[in-house]
Structure 1
């Protein structure tokens, strides 16, 4: 097959990386604790009250994810992502104007949770799955690595701006950045499919297609939801979401109350974790093209378990930093795994809808995580038990990953570590 010198699919990856890097996931995972901490200090809110906003946001974003699938499969990644970025910026402006009412705080995060779902990987996974086959894991990894860049920049930028100008102007600046930087770059770079250019996935020319090319054996949504593999993956992702978001919004509490660190230290540790996410995204993406993906998922679970146990058993700064690096590496595998597994086990025809349901499961668990962890911490008076329970919980998805078998789709044939069945 004739290969073109430069494959424009990598432009799609670059544009996706910008959109994902400054979407709602890195904003919430890395910026919420600092932003909400500043607001809580101004308005005398308690930690459980702030945690409720996190759960409201995550619950509404959870509901929104499955709703993204149909318009994405109908209208494509580019249009849906652009609308989502604009609405995300508008919701940040709404949040910047609250006046101290908890109900306003909750409603603003509810709005953001609904409109910002499309700023994340779900909007771009379909385009990447259509542009890439054999390098799909690596392409997803590079695209999702933008989230790591955002996770590094956001806590430092938020801490600096909140200290200098307050939380309200920080939100305004974020909205302007979304509209002036992110939206134009996504519009320029993200294209929905290689077909208009006469190309196939990975840069092959459509002119060279032969009868021996494997046909697309994608399953319908109705067929997919009747399989055991779908439900095993959904349960696994729910537990993974609950585990990560039990820690992320409560990280200020964990590190200041239990480890005795200051807010500046927490911001630095969050930034270090963000760098680890970058390596995790690319590293896990590389592995997904070479190792059976459920085994890669188990590696991420082991890292999460070690992180939770470390937070529970030490206050030594270097070990805390080590744990945050492991946590960053672990979350680097989650976003890559969901669309990759959806496309390999079920095909690309309905990948947005199935990925949307996996995200629904992930964030359903995530919505439970923050408040459950906060309540357990309050009930047991700062005990290490909640973190130890979190570490042990990773056994369940590990066993489910081991039980799902080989890839199904014909397009996965020939991949190392997985034979289509």
Structure 2
């Protein structure tokens, strides 16, 4: 049962700009581009120094995503309770310190995994989970565009930071590279939080109460768990490749710089995918848009498996990046469209935990298969079918739930 929509005064235009810029800058310096996108750069030097296999060296990526997946529902509930910006500030400081602490690694696998889990747990609110939770409070009919513009920050980080990390590793070594990334993340994240504004600042003392589907009702909904499974499948298929792309390119005879550029092309695709998805989902039913991007990602993985031509491989990584870019916009938009804002943080956290779980399963599976068989061929044959399954499942969501869309049940201005 939904109350009549609230009518909130339209905010000054600068607030909308500030919120988008803050979210973009925060995601540029947050968990996904700063730690995940650079993970592949560290695989070879770590393997060389400690004698690890690739599955061991890339375990930080999977362990951190495990930490993020487990804590995401809790972080979402904390944002509903205490306010988004407070949670992000605390998360950003600990995340930066944890990233810098990766430089202390002494070859102990237990230490490596433990630090990586701390990075994932502390970095959860510096990811799209934190920054994108602000935007549905301010945008309604142009929410997709706002999400797309803000997510360009994450895409830019995914382009810039692998190259930056490679430069730091080559110039100063992998230990100082981690320190530099951690310090830079804290500084940029605090600036980003200074730009953010909240319309609903937690349950205590809020002047306006958001509307939508109650948490208990949403937890019983097929749609919530379908959304969760969609992003388990899609992230397992796409994010599994992140820490392995530089090694995959190196195995095919390309040097470290060319391998790093391949990872950056994922960022280029991600950047375009963020903005393009945002534009499309404001005009076209979001599940249909999602299915098209998932199919495109499947084509990219098939191409990655089937060619050794460098230009074709860059096209493949760009297609994969487009799909990753779409995923980030879609999680937030689908949760908002089907469930509204009443328990948005909690539900977004649940949906995002599926995304994190897939990103745990994928890299471990891919690395373990390579260490056992010396080839990525079979995984690269399976992953496209996971994306095709996600495309079919997302289409089963149907129409947006009446009363959950922003214009029906939320009090957000039609910015």
Shift of 1:4: 6.9
Give the whole-Å Cα distance in 1 for the aligned partners of 2:197 and 2:17.
Answer: 10
For structure 1, which segment, 405-414 or 239-248, has the greater mean C-alpha deviation from structure 2 after superposition?
Answer: 405-414
Q: Residue 392 of structure 1 aligns with which residue?
A: 385
Query: Is the aligned partner of 1:221 residue 2:215?
Result: yes
Give the whole-Å Cα distance in 2 for the aligned partners of 1:58 and 1:30.
Answer: 12
Shift of 1:252: 2.3
Output aligned runs, 1:295-310, within 5 Å: 295-310=288-303
Query: Is the aligned partner of 1:240 residue 2:246?
Result: no
Query: How many residue pairs get matched?
Result: 396
1:265 aligns with one of 247, 255, 258:
258
Give the whole-Å Cα distance in 1 for the aligned partners of 2:404 and 2:340.
Answer: 8
| CA spacing shift, 1:177–1:275, aligned 2, 3 Å | same
Query: Is the aligned partner of 1:163 residue 2:157?
Result: no
Q: Residue 200 of structure 1 aligns with which residue?
A: none
1:338-362: CA deviation from partner (whole Å, max 9, x where unpaired) = 0100011001111111111111111
CA contact (8 A) 2:156 2:271 kept: yes
Q: Residue 127 of structure 1 aligns with which residue?
A: 134
**Structure 1: 5+ residue stretches without partners:** 196-205, 207-214, 416-421
| CA spacing shift, 1:56–1:331, aligned 2, 3 Å | same
Give the whole-Å Cα distance in 1 for the aligned partners of 2:75 and 2:286.
Answer: 25
Give the whole-Å Cα distance in 2 for the aligned partners of 1:414 and 1:180.
Answer: 37
1:327 aligns with one of 288, 300, 320:
320
Q: The residue matched to 1:269 in structure 2 has which SS?
A: helix
Q: Residue 198 of structure 1 aligns with which residue?
A: none
1:84 aligns with one of 65, 83, 91:
91
Output aligned runs, 1:55-94, within 5 Å: 55-94=62-101
Give the whole-Å Cα distance in 1 for the aligned partners of 2:247 and 2:227.
Answer: 31
**Structure 2: 5+ residue stretches without partners:** 1-6, 202-207, 409-415
CA contact (8 A) 1:62 1:364 kept: yes
Give the whole-Å Cα distance in 2 for the aligned partners of 1:95 and 1:169.
Answer: 10
For structure 1, which segment, 154-163 or 69-78, has the greater mean C-alpha deviation from structure 2 after superposition?
Answer: 69-78
Give the whole-Å Cα distance in 2 for the aligned partners of 1:228 and 1:5.
Answer: 39
Aligned Cα RMSD in Å? 2.2
1:232-290: CA deviation from partner (whole Å, max 9, x where unpaired) = 11111110111112211111232222x32222111112122212211110110111111
TM-score normalised by length of structure 1: 0.89
Query: Is the aligned partner of 1:230 residue 2:237?
Result: no
Shift of 1:116: 1.0
CA contact (8 A) 1:126 1:352 kept: yes
1:106 aligns with one of 110, 113, 117:
113
Shift of 1:364: 1.0
Query: Is the aligned partner of 1:23 residue 2:23?
Result: no
Output aligned runs, 1:38-57, within 5 Å: 38-57=45-64
For structure 1, which segment, 80-89 or 265-274, has the greater mean C-alpha deviation from structure 2 after superposition?
Answer: 265-274
Give the whole-Å Cα distance in 1 for the aligned partners of 2:71 and 2:43.
Answer: 23
Q: Residue 199 of structure 2 aligns with which residue?
A: 193
Q: The residue matched to 1:345 in structure 2 has which SS?
A: helix
Q: The residue matched to 2:133 in structure 1 has which SS?
A: helix
Q: Residue 413 of structure 2 aligns with which residue?
A: none
Give the whole-Å Cα distance in 1 for the aligned partners of 2:70 and 2:406.
Answer: 34
Shift of 1:380: 4.3
Give the whole-Å Cα distance in 2 for the aligned partners of 1:156 and 1:217.
Answer: 43
CA contact (8 A) 2:29 2:185 kept: yes
Give the whole-Å Cα distance in 2 for the aligned partners of 1:378 and 1:395.
Answer: 27
Shift of 1:301: 0.6
Shift of 1:329: 1.0
Q: Residue 336 of structure 1 aligns with which residue?
A: 329
Query: Is the aligned partner of 1:255 residue 2:262?
Result: no
Q: The residue matched to 1:340 in structure 2 has which SS?
A: helix
